[in-house]
Amino acid sequence: MTAAARPLAVVTGASRGLGAALSRFLAAQGFDLVLVARGAPALHAVASELRGSAHIVTVVGDVADAQVRARIRTAVHRHGRLDLLVNNAGILGTTPLPPLAAYDLRELEHVWAVNVMGPLALVQELLPDLRSGRSRVINISSDAAVGGYPGWGAYGASKAALDLLSLTLAHELAAEGIAVLSVDPGDLLTPGVRAALPEPELAGRPAPEVTLPFWAWLLHQDPARLSGHRFRAQADRWEVPE
């Protein structure tokens, strides 16, 4: 394994919405990328758009699938280093969003497999690389993790679980130099949301690029000082915690 010059980021759910915007941003900041998503055509479109400015590897598949995670690890090993893992892939579950009392439990298991197990499994899979890179892990959360919004219970509970995974991993991995944090990007207008929500709930949601200043700020901070914290990308202010 040779150490590559350019930093590498793995972004899951990279084919559209926040994941695609973040991938474009990271390529512009000088990262090479392993882009992961289920939808091949959209993923390849993002990859070919970015190939002029960065080295891009695509992995088509679901992060809940062990074989897909193994392919991600292979791609990371080929590159030779890992600096950033963004666990952005997530699913809303059944839409229109049913109340918890009527939620299909098998569907609930699937939401948790993708939104909770997927990110943890990927951290486990890439742990040696995260260790040697003293990397950052960013888990994408949601205000639904704390809101208790009717209809958002399954998704929200999965994001609340992900927040606690982030906090715990931050403590467990601090001694190894791995920083883990969670980011609530705030309400955004993304293809996933557009497909799931009724029109009136879409009004006023900004495009994912509204979070670019936040990511630029985040990347310039000392990761160790951010680890274990939860940030809101559209908050009134962002600052390094005391």
What's the rounded Cα separation, in Å, for the pair 179 and 162? 15
Q: Does the protein bind other proteins through residue 106 (CB under 8 A)?
A: no
Q: Do 97 and 151 meet the contact criterion of CB atoms below 8 Å apart?
A: yes
Q: Measure the CA–CA gap between 202 and 70, rounded to whole angstroms.
A: 37
Q: Which is nearer to other proteins, 106 or 220 (CB)?
A: 220
Q: How far is the CB of 35 from other proteins (least distance, A)?
A: 18
* Exposed/middle/buried for residue 107 (C-beta within 10 Å: 0-12, 13-18, 19+): middle
**What residue type is assigned to position 135 of the chain?**
S
Sign of CA dihedral 1, 73, 57, 16: negative
By CB under 8 A, tell whether 136 contacts other proteins.
no
Q: Give yes or no: 103 in active site.
A: no
Kindly write out the interface string for residues 194-233 of this chain, putting x where it contacts other proteins by CB under 8 A and - elsewhere: ---------xxxxxxxx-xxx-xx-xx-------------
On the 0-12 / 13-18 / 19+ scale of CB atoms within 10 A, 62 is middle
Q: Are 26 and 9 in contact (CB under 8 A)?
A: yes
Q: Which of 103, 152, 155, 214 is catalytic?
A: 155
- Measured from the CB atom, the residue of 193 and 210 that comes closer to other proteins is 210
* CB closer to other proteins, 107 vs 217: 217
Q: Which of 1, 4, 28, 70 binds other proteins (CB under 8 A)?
A: 28
Nearest approach, Cβ of residue 88 and other proteins (Å): 18
Q: How far is the CB of 26 from other proteins (least distance, A)?
A: 11
The site for other proteins, by CB under 8 A, has a size of 27
Q: What is the DSSP letter of 242?
A: -
Provide the token pair at 234: 């559209």
Rule CB under 8 A: say whether 240 interacts with other proteins. Answer: yes
Position 63, amino acid: V
| Rounded Cα distance, 185 and 58, in Å | 24
Kindly tell me which of 52 and 101 has the beta carbon lying closer to other proteins.
52
Piece of 5-13, 25-33, 90-98, 113-121 that binds other proteins (CB under 8 A) = 25-33
The residues of the shown chain that bind other proteins, judged by CB under 8 A, are: 21, 24-25, 28-30, 49, 203-210, 212-214, 216-217, 219-220, 236-240
- Which residues are the active-site residues? 155
